[in-house]
């Protein structure tokens, strides 16, 4: 057994211990877990994240304690353990160290995570291209992948194969409520490296959120923001208020390419400030800008890639994705 496997095994045992403790005394156990994590973390991304969480945990009345208690009592413990280790250790510690080394040696513009837009357009590249990108990225120790699925989740069988072939990665799957059929949720219960990003644009999304919770699946809420009216719902606090009864772990705003930079920046600032102010038992995040910040911590580059359905590649340097000269065949080629 190599050193990395031993390390993962030790971390797994510690996480299991604290999951059991949190169900009995969430506030005290969360603080102990964060103290331990901060002491043992050795990457800048991990250290900064844990230090920020420690500051939040210092607030004894923080609604984030409610969020964590709900997570451990309503989510399968195997999923919490594997998703957490894959993200915190593989992506933010082991993987980020190797990415940082590669960047310093050859200066490629790597991103710690990659988005795939799989909209069902006629010119959509085959799913084998997604698998090839993930395979190449894994050789560079990239462990985080987000897929914006088609409205019908027509590629579900290919997704499950990808998730299971890469058990040390984390996958986020953005999906519409109606696409998450019962058979999909049943199969997802056996995929512990998956988090659903549930679209909340449909009127009946709460019903699907309850189903995800009942099946102890890991999920967050997500909203793609395309115009000022949708932005105002977020900036007014209305969206987060609406989410609270359903207990998603996180709430992700995702700026569409059509959004103005001014509005995208306002949403970024709102989500950041609301997260620090600890107003809700949900962790708010502006997906693009927060992922870019993490990438800067890892590589000192502001970059995040999205592979579009037609094979073109867009890049975000702060708030919005923009066209680039890259094609999907260019990503992570040596």
Residue pointed to by tokens 């999920």: 219
Sorted by sequence, the CB contacts under 8 Å of residue 158 that are 6+ apart come out as 127, 130, 131
Q: What is the pLDDT of residue 21?
A: 64
Q: What is the pLDDT of residue 98?
A: 82
Q: What is the mean pLDDT of each run of 10 residues along the chain (334 residues)?
A: 60 63 63 59 56 64 87 93 90 82 76 94 95 95 95 95 98 97 97 98 94 98 96 97 97 97 98 94 97 90 95 96 93 78
Q: What is the pLDDT of residue 46?
A: 54
Total number of domains in the chain: 1
Q: What is the pLDDT of residue 9?
A: 62
How are beta strands 219-225 and 194-199 bridged, if at all?
parallel
Q: What is the pLDDT of residue 203?
A: 84
What is the 3-class SS of the chain, one letter each residue? Answer: CCHHHHHHHHHHHHHHHHHHHHHHCHHHHHHHHHHHHHHHCCCHHHHHHHHHHHHHHCCCCCHHHHHHHHHHHHCCHHHHHHHHHHHHHHHHHHHHHHHHHHHHHHCCCCCCEEEEECCCCCCCCCHHHHHHHHHHHHHCCCCEEEEECCCCCCCHHHHHHHHHHCCCCEEEEEECHHHCCHHHHHHHCCCCCEEEEEECCCCCHHHHHHHHHHCCCCEEEEEEECCHHHHHHHHCCHHHHHHHHHCCCEEEEEECCCCCHHHHHHHHHHHHHHHHHCCCCCEEEEHHHHHHHHHHHHHCCCCEEEECCCCEEEEECCCCEEEEEEEHHHCCCC
**pTM of the predicted protein model:** 0.90
Q: What is the pLDDT of residue 309?
A: 96
Alpha carbon distance 265, 71 (integer Å): 30
Q: What is the pLDDT of residue 299?
A: 86
Q: What is the pLDDT of residue 75?
A: 95
Q: What is the pLDDT of residue 109?
A: 73
Check which CATH number belongs to the domain holding 131 and give it.
Answer: 3.20.20
Q: What is the pLDDT of residue 51?
A: 59
- Give the domain range for residue 165: 3-330
């Amino acid at each position: 057994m190599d050193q990395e496997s031993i390390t993962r095994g030790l971390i797994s045992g510690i996480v299991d211990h604290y999951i059991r403790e949190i169900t009995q005394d969430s506030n005290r156990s969360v603080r102990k877990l964060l103290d331990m994590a901060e002491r043992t973390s050795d990457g800048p991304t991990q250290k900064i994240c844990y230090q920020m969480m420690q500051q939040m945990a210092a607030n004894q009345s923080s609604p984030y304690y409610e969020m964590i208690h709900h997570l451990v009592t309503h989510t399968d413990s195997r999923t919490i353990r594997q998703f957490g280790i894959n993200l915190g250790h593989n992506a933010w510690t082991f993987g980020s160290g190797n990415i940082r080394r590669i960047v310093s040696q050859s200066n490629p513009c790597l991103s710690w995570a990659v988005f795939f837009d799989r909209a069902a357009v006629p010119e959509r590249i085959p799913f084998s291209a997604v698998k090839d990108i993930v395979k190449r990225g894994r050789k560079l120790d990239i462990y985080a992948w987000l897929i914006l699925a088609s409205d019908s989740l027509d590629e579900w069988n290919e997704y499950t194969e990808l998730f299971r072939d890469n058990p040390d990665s984390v996958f986020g799957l953005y999906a519409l409520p109606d696409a998450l059929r019962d058979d999909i949720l049943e199969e997802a219960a056996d995929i512990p490296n998956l988090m659903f990003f549930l679209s909340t644009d449909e009127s009946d999304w709460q019903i699907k959120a309850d189903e995800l919770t009942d099946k102890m699946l890991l999920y967050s809420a997500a909203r793609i923001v395309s115009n000022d009216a949708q932005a105002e719902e977020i900036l007014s606090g209305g969206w987060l208020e609406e989410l609270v009864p359903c207990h998603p772990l996180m709430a992700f705003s995702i700026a569409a390419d059509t959004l103005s930079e001014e509005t995208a920046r306002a949403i970024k600032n709102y989500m950041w400030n609301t997260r620090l102010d600890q107003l809700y038992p949900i962790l708010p995040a502006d997906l693009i800008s927060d992922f870019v910040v993490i990438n800067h911590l890892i590589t000192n580059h502001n970059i995040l890639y999205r592979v579009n359905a037609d094979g073109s590649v867009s890049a975000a340097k702060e708030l919005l994705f923009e066209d680039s000269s890259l094609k999907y065949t260019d990503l992570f080629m040596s």
